[in-house]
Amino acid sequence: MSTLDRISQPSDLRDLTDVELDALADEIRERLIVAVATHGGHLGPNLGVVELTMAIHRVFDSPRDRVVFDTGHQAYVHKMLTGRAAEFERLRMEGGLSGYPSQAESPHDVVENSHASTSLSYADGLAKANTVQGRPDHVVAVIGDGALTGGMAWEALNNIAADADRRLVVVVNDNGRSYRPTVGGLANHLAKLRTDPRYEPTLRAVRERLSNANIVGQAAYEALHALKKGLKDALYPQGMFEDLGLKYVGPIDGHDRPAVENALAQARTYGGPVIVHVITTKGQGYQIAVANEEDQMHQAKAFDRLTGEALAVEPTSWTSVFRDELVRIGDERPDVVAITAAMLSPTGLDAFADKFPDRTFDVGIAEQHAVTSAAGLAMGGLHPVVAVYSTFLNRAFDQVLLDVALHRCGVTFVLDRAGVTGDDGPSHNGMWDMSILQVVPTLSLAAPRDGARLRELLREAVTVDDAPTVVRFPKGGVAADIEAIDTVGRSDVLFREGGEDVLVVAAGPMVRQALDAAARLRAEGVGVTVVDPRWVKPLDPALVELAARHRLLVTVEDSGRVGGMGSVLTQMLADADVRTPVRVHGVTQEFFDHAKRDVLLQRMGLTGEAIAADALARL
């Protein structure tokens, strides 16, 4: 049995020798590479925190001491060291291990935080609860992968620094990156601490002197720490963290496990909030990942571990269609600018940034700031395109409502990974945007059914300069275009055969399930019309007139049933006193465990077969 397979709980680490711990680190990296090469997942971030996570679990006593990871995708090693190493054979598979912390999996997983910059607020509350209830336990917040650029993190630090008696250790895992190198003033400050030419050479010289003088153990650590503090005071007398009133330890080589353990043990004795600044390398131990300049294999699909090459050829993606069309628009419209929240490549803005670097703004993991900054850009005479995953726009709802819409700013939001995404679990399903955004006055929302409509609707969206517009599309490959056979108002008619029994109104990519349902209904002798409204907010009033002529109205969408297209259309029919019965097919508002998109859609009854069967039962 390997050393890793003998670890059933963190306390097992404390019985291992240094030689065994070094071997364990190698085993963990091997297990990570094999698991992610097979199933896909976040490789680079986890390879970078092996020694750090081992040190945390040797110094602190989880789950009594709470350990919160931010962002949660760097918690694979934590999962291995808390008794789940054998389960990595089913990483991110239905019924298997989640790619993020999961309370259902283990008491060691405190919060399921796959969205960034939340750990310090959780930790602040947990530490306050310990104080109020007289518990001597510690809280450890591990914040990294650019999460310290988020505004919530600084709101939390402001509160954490206000109470010197709270047993809270903030570990800044500084790898200089989110997907790409971290941007902004904070990133620049941390980079100076990492890279000042006077800093590391002096530290190396002192380490050599300590070694030659045979000064080891705690005495060596204390001497080195005193020198590093003196160097920091000399080079950066107004240290950012210390100016907040927080004790600061570091920077420390995050791959030097004994050094990290010493630093954490020192921080543990302070009895108050402490920042421990560790320097790590994303992808450490797998040179293919380290050398990947794009994202250091931040999130990899299944790959050949010997070459790092993806095992499957990816179909043309929705993201790539958006990427190419935005560049074309940028060529034609010098007023169009782009904003990303630390996700330039994942959201398809990389090509625009390459061609128009002065018109592209990466604000870090700060969605709220991104949206209000976009409002300012619009007020300044530009047309910003804010590209973000659907699930992350949830964090900036107030800014969309009161900073953009209230001021009638022409901002276009492009929501990637909208609808059911699947593999990354409940926090990443983009199933909330249509429900949330329905309440925003003046906002228009488009759901393209194919690549041609994505290009078409994006162009329509950026022409609107006095209100916000939204274009949403799903994760994955884009299928063949579906051309309209007619139009009703501004909606596309995609199918019309056999009379006016059932009207199916389908949003975006769900038209494929609608057309499948139509074929099944026709086989049963039922007349069917299938319509794609293109713009699902506001809905075309012509749909009400069309529904009045049919025996049954069926709506299909991969977004929430509450506040979604179906519920709005139902209300429109009631307001117009149209008595046509309505069947609404959408996503129930609940948190779905990770599984493939097709599996989840089938479970929700969002298949052609299920939709047709329901319609037949209602006729």
Instruction: Give the amino acid at 569.
Output: L
* Position 470 confidence tier, pLDDT thresholds 50, 70, 90: very high
* 367 included as an active-site residue: yes
pLDDT at 302 over 90: no
Helix (H) or strand (E) holding 497: strand 491-497
Identify which has the larger pLDDT, 462 or 301: 462
pLDDT at 536 over 90: yes
Say what the pLDDT of residue 292 is.
75
The annotation status of 179 as a binding-site residue, yes or no, is no
Identify which has the larger pLDDT, 431 or 19: 19
User: What digits encode the pLDDT tens for the residues 379-396?
Assistant: 999 999 999 988 889 888
Residue pair 469/415 in contact by the 8 Å Cβ criterion = no
* 395 included as an active-site residue: yes
The annotation status of 497 as a binding-site residue, yes or no, is no
DSSP 83: I
Say what the pLDDT of residue 41 is.
75
* 500 included as an active-site residue: no
Give residue 314's Cα distance to chain centre.
Answer: 21
Helices (H), 339-386: 350-355, 367-379
The annotation status of 286 as a binding-site residue, yes or no, is yes
Residue pair 77/196 in contact by the 8 Å Cβ criterion = no
pLDDT at 234 over 50: no
Say which range, 145-154, 411-420, 603-612, has the weakest mean pLDDT: 145-154
Identify which has the larger pLDDT, 560 or 359: 359
Say which range, 238-242, 350-354, 597-601, has the weakest mean pLDDT: 238-242
Q: Which domains does the chain have, with CATH numbers?
A: 4-290 (3.40.50.970), 318-472 (3.40.50.970), 488-618 (3.40.50.920)
Cα 319 from Cα 336, distance rounded (Å): 18
Closest C-alpha to 327, from 316, 317, 337: 337
Name the 3-class secondary structure at 306: coil
Rounded percentage of the chain residues whose pLDDT exceeds 70 = 84
Instruction: Please tell me which residue in 31, 84, 180, 282 is annotated as part of the active site.
Output: 282
Identify which has the larger pLDDT, 238 or 345: 345
Instruction: Please tell me which residue in 395, 453, 475, 512 is annotated as part of the active site.
Output: 395
Residue pair 224/203 in contact by the 8 Å Cβ criterion = yes
pLDDT at 210 over 80: no
The annotation status of 205 as a binding-site residue, yes or no, is no
pLDDT at 614 over 60: yes
Instruction: Please tell me which residue in 27, 51, 325, 367 is annotated as part of the active site.
Output: 367
Helix (H) or strand (E) holding 504: strand 502-506
Cα 257 from Cα 370, distance rounded (Å): 37
Residue pair 259/252 in contact by the 8 Å Cβ criterion = yes
The annotation status of 100 as a binding-site residue, yes or no, is no
User: What digits encode the pLDDT tens for the residues 90-139?
Assistant: 887 777 777 777 778 888 888 876 667 778 888 888 888 888 888 889 99
Say what the pLDDT of residue 235 is.
43
Closest C-alpha to 515, from 562, 554, 468: 554
Say what the pLDDT of residue 222 is.
59
Cα 578 from Cα 575, distance rounded (Å): 8
Residue pair 549/458 in contact by the 8 Å Cβ criterion = no
